[in-house]
């Protein structure tokens, strides 16, 4: 597949990294020659320096025979123009644009993106994706990572096992015998920094970071079995009142369970804008690192703190300070994945990686097959793929035990009709089933082959 990626920043570079590693023909376009050089030096991609909205630049990048264009520059308007030029002049079949401004994303203006107007096939909003990720973290407070699948009926959770966990030193195959009605599957383990898909005979140890697929109805029981609490969060403090913090606060206001939130923002202008938009949320003007301000916000009585400013180090320090001041749960927004190693020493419970959430959103529209969701794990180490099984797939009408999945692939859940079931070796995969697979990065191409749809899907 031939893909043009416009914008070689964090998101563009990460998408290029994913696609080039899977032998796609990738060209990166950016007006910053240093960013283009970084991409071409470190990745197997072509690079063009110039303004991606200019037709001659897109022609040099190969737009005339491109299968897809991804507009991920820092400007919403440039991204929109790129898609328009790609459609009107080069007839690029699929156009993806990253848009940040909330006005562009309002549902009442959705007609704007029809082919007769602004021909964008897929609109990605980093702020909305990150806000949704933050809300999921709050809903599963004992986890360091979580994502919903199968129309919200199944959930991937990541938990760190402690000495008190009841299933330590137990072979995974015995978990089914011990908890026969539990709809949960351990699909991945990170031990001493190494992520792997476990075998049935593998045991779990204290300190392991474990990824588990569970039916959402069994979430509380799953957390309990793995030594975690499912306590509801009723009072939340959000540090950072920008697009992400504002989106989270608005979502919390719209919820029926009435979670009470306070926002702390150090920019007076941004704080005033947030206060104008929010109805039931208290907005405090000041520095989220200020202990006196945290005390004024009753940090010691809060159930969780969410640090979502535009600075990684501020988020880490604010989360650590809030935790030290008595808040039981701290979540930090971290763009740089190398900084996540500080979570343990700083006693931070969970992090949100905006780059990973945005990349996951874009990848789900790129994968071959009837792929519905792609969720990136760690620093592009693995993916969780939700896809519909089609008649042409090699796995159709096969029992799981008979399918030649690579060693780094495990089936997490299957939806048959309206029912989500826990997969076993005897489960038969049928046409129309929706299957969720955990796969290590190197196994993604083989998984795509097993899901089997060619470029005609686009």
What architecture is the 359-457 domain classified under in CATH? 2-Layer Sandwich (3.30)
Enumerate the H helices of 226-333 as residue ranges: 243-254, 268-277, 291-296, 312-324
At 87 the three-state DSSP class reads helix
Q: What percent of the chain has pLDDT over 70?
A: 93
Dump pLDDT digits (tens) for 14-62: 888 878 876 789 999 999 999 999 999 999 999 999 999 999 999 999 9
Taking 50 as the threshold, does the pLDDT of residue 372 lie above it? yes
Dump pLDDT digits (tens) for 59-90: 999 999 999 999 999 899 999 999 999 999 99
Residue 380 is classified by DSSP as: T
Residue 447 is classified by DSSP as: H
Phi, psi (degrees; rounded to nearest 5) at 79: -60, -40
Rounded Cα distance between 455 and 458, Å, is 6
**36 touches 8 (CB < 8 A):** yes
Q: What percent of the chain has pLDDT over 90?
A: 53
* Tokens read off for 6: 């416009």
Dump pLDDT digits (tens) for 173-183: 998 888 989 99
> What top-level class would CATH report for the domain 235-357?
alpha beta
Q: What stretch of H or E contains 357?
A: helix 354-363
Dump pLDDT digits (tens) for 315-330: 999 999 999 999 988 9
Dump pLDDT digits (tens) for 5-25: 999 987 888 888 878 876 789
Give the CATH superfamily of 130-225: Regulator of K+ conductance, C-terminal domain (3.30.70.1450)
Greatest alpha-carbon pair distance for the chain in Å reads 64
Pick the CATH number of 2-124 from 1.20.120.10, 1.25.40.80, 3.40.50.300, 3.40.50.720: 3.40.50.720
Q: What stretch of H or E contains 285?
A: strand 282-285
**304 touches 331 (CB < 8 A):** yes
* Tokens read off for 312: 């990684």
Ordered by start, the domain boundaries in the chain are: 2-124, 130-225, 235-357, 359-457
**220 touches 230 (CB < 8 A):** yes
pLDDT for 452: 66
pLDDT for 193: 86
pLDDT for 456: 37
Taking 90 as the threshold, does the pLDDT of residue 356 lie above it? no
CA proximity to 335, closest of 353, 320, 349, 351:
353
Rounded Cα distance between 74 and 334, Å, is 18
Looking at per-residue confidence, does 188 or 126 come out higher?
A: 188
Dump pLDDT digits (tens) for 204-222: 999 999 999 999 999 889 9
Taking 90 as the threshold, does the pLDDT of residue 254 lie above it? no
pLDDT band at 152 (very low <50, low <70, confident <90, very high): confident
Phi, psi (degrees; rounded to nearest 5) at 26: -115, 135
């Amino acid at each position: 597949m031939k893909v043009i990626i416009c914008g070689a920043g964090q998101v563009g570079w990460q998408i290029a990294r994913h696609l080039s590693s899977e032998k796609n023909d990738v060209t990166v376009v950016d007006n910053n020659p240093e960013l283009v050089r970084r991409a071409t030096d470190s990745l197997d991609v072509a690079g063009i320096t110039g303004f991606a909205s200019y037709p001659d630049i897109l022609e040099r990048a190969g737009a005339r025979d491109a299968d897809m264009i991804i507009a991920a520059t820092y400007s919403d308007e440039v991204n929109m123009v790129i898609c328009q030029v790609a459609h009107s002049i080069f007839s690029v079949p699929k156009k993806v644009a990253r848009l940040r401004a909330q006005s562009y994303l309002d549902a009442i203006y959705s007609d704007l993106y029809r082919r007769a107007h602004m021909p964008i096939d897929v609109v990605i909003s980093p702020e909305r994706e990150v806000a949704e990720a933050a809300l999921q973290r709050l809903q599963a407070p004992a986890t360091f990572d979580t994502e919903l699948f199968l129309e919200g009926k199944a959930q991937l959770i990541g938990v760190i096992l402690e000495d008190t966990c009841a299933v330590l030193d137990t072979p995974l195959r015995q978990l089914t015998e011990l908890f026969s009605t539990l709809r949960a599957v351990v699909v991945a383990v990170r031990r001493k920094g190494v992520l792997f898909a476990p075998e049935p005979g593998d045991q779990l140890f204290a300190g392991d970071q474990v990824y588990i697929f569970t039916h959402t109805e069994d979430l509380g029981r799953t957390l309990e079995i793995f030594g975690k609490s499912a306590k509801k969060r009723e009072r939340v403090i959000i540090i950072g009142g920008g697009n992400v913090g504002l989106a989270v606060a608005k979502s919390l206001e719209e919820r029926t369970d009435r979670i009470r939130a306070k926002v702390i923002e150090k920019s007076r202008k941004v704080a005033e804008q947030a206060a104008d938009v929010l109805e039931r949320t208290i907005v405090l003007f000041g520095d989220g690192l200020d202990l006196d301000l945290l005390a004024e916000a009753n940090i010691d009585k809060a159930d969780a703190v969410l640090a979502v400013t535009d600075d990684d180090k501020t988020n880490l320090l604010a989360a650590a300070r809030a935790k030290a001041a008595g808040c039981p749960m701290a979540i930090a927004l971290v763009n740089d994945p190398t900084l996540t190693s500080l979570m343990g020493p700083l006693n931070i419970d969970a992090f949100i990686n905006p780059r990973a959430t945005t990349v996951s959103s874009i990848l789900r529209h790129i994968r071959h097959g009837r792929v519905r969701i792609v969720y990136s794990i760690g620093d592009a180490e693995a993916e969780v793929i939700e896809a519909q099984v089609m008649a042409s797939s090699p796995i159709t009408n096969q029992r799981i035990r008979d399918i030649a999945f690579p060693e780094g692939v495990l089936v997490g859940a299957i939806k048959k009709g309206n029912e989500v079931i826990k997969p076993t070796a005897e489960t038969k995969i049928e046409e129309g089933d929706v299957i969720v697979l955990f796969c290590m990065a190197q196994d993604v191409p083989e998984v795509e082959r097993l899901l089997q749809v060619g470029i005609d899907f686009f």
